C-alpha cells in the first residue's frame, strides 16, 4: 500500500526588514510541520518580528501544526513582536475555537488587516485574540 504525499505548499513574502507574510496551503500536520517550523524559525532568526501567517488555503491542521503555531507565537513575542493568523476556513476556525486558541492568536479575515495589526501592535482587544470568530 502506498500513501500519497500530503498536499502542502509554503511561500514567504518579505514586506520590509521586520515584516513577513508566510502563506501555507494544504495540510498542516505531523509530516508537513517540520518544513513549516523551519520556515518560521528562519524568518524569526532573520529579525522578522511582525509575522503574518496566511492560512487561508489550509484545509486541515492537527496538534503538531498547532504546536508549531504556539512555538512561533512564543518566539515572536519574546522578541517583542506580533504574530497574526489569516484564516477563513470554518473547519480550521472551529478547531481554534474548540481548543480555545482563538483567544490566544490574533486571527484576522484577510492579509491586509493582519499586516496592519502586526505593524500597529494593537488589535482592539486587551488580551489579544481573534476578531474573526467562527461563522
Q: State pLDDT tens for residues 14-52.
A: 999 999 999 999 999 999 999 999 999 999 999 999 999
| Beta-carbon contacts of residue 119 (< 8 Å; ≥ 6 apart) | 19, 50
Helix (H, G, I), strand (E, B) or coil at 21: strand
- pLDDT computed for residue 2 by the predictor: 56
In angstroms, what CA-CA distances link 9 with 40, 57, 110, 129?
14, 9, 19, 26
Q: Is the pLDDT of residue 129 over 60?
A: no
Alpha carbons 45 and 25: distance in angstroms, whole number: 23
Instruction: State the pLDDT confidence band at 5, using cuts at 50, 70 and 90.
Output: low
**All domains in the chain, ordered by first residue:** 8-120 (3.30.750.24)
- Which of 5 and 102 is assigned the larger pLDDT? 102
- pLDDT computed for residue 125 by the predictor: 39
Closest of 65, 91, 77, 88 to residue 127, by C-alpha: 77
Helix (H, G, I), strand (E, B) or coil at 47: coil
Q: What pTM was estimated for this model as a whole?
A: 0.86
Amino acid at each position: 500500500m502506498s500513501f500519497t504525499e500530503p498536499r502542502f505548499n509554503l511561500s514567504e513574502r518579505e514586506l520590509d526588514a521586520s515584516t513577513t507574510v508566510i502563506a501555507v496551503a494544504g495540510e498542516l500536520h505531523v509530516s508537513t510541520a517540520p518544513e513549516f517550523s523551519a520556515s518560521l524559525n528562519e524568518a524569526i532568526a532573520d529579525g522578522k518580528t511582525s509575522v503574518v501567517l496566511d492560512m487561508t488555503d489550509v484545509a486541515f491542521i492537527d496538534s503538531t501544526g498547532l504546536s508549531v503555531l504556539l512555538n512561533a507565537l512564543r518566539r515572536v513575542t519574546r522578541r517583542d513582536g506580533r504574530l497574526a493568523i489569516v484564516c477563513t476556513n470554518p473547519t480550521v476556525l472551529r478547531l481554534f475555537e474548540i481548543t480555545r486558541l482563538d483567544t490566544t492568536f490574533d486571527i484576522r479575515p484577510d492579509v491586509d488587516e493582519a499586516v496592519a495589526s502586526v505593524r500597529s501592535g494593537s488589535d482592539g482587544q486587551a488580551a489579544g485574540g481573534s476578531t474573526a470568530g467562527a461563522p
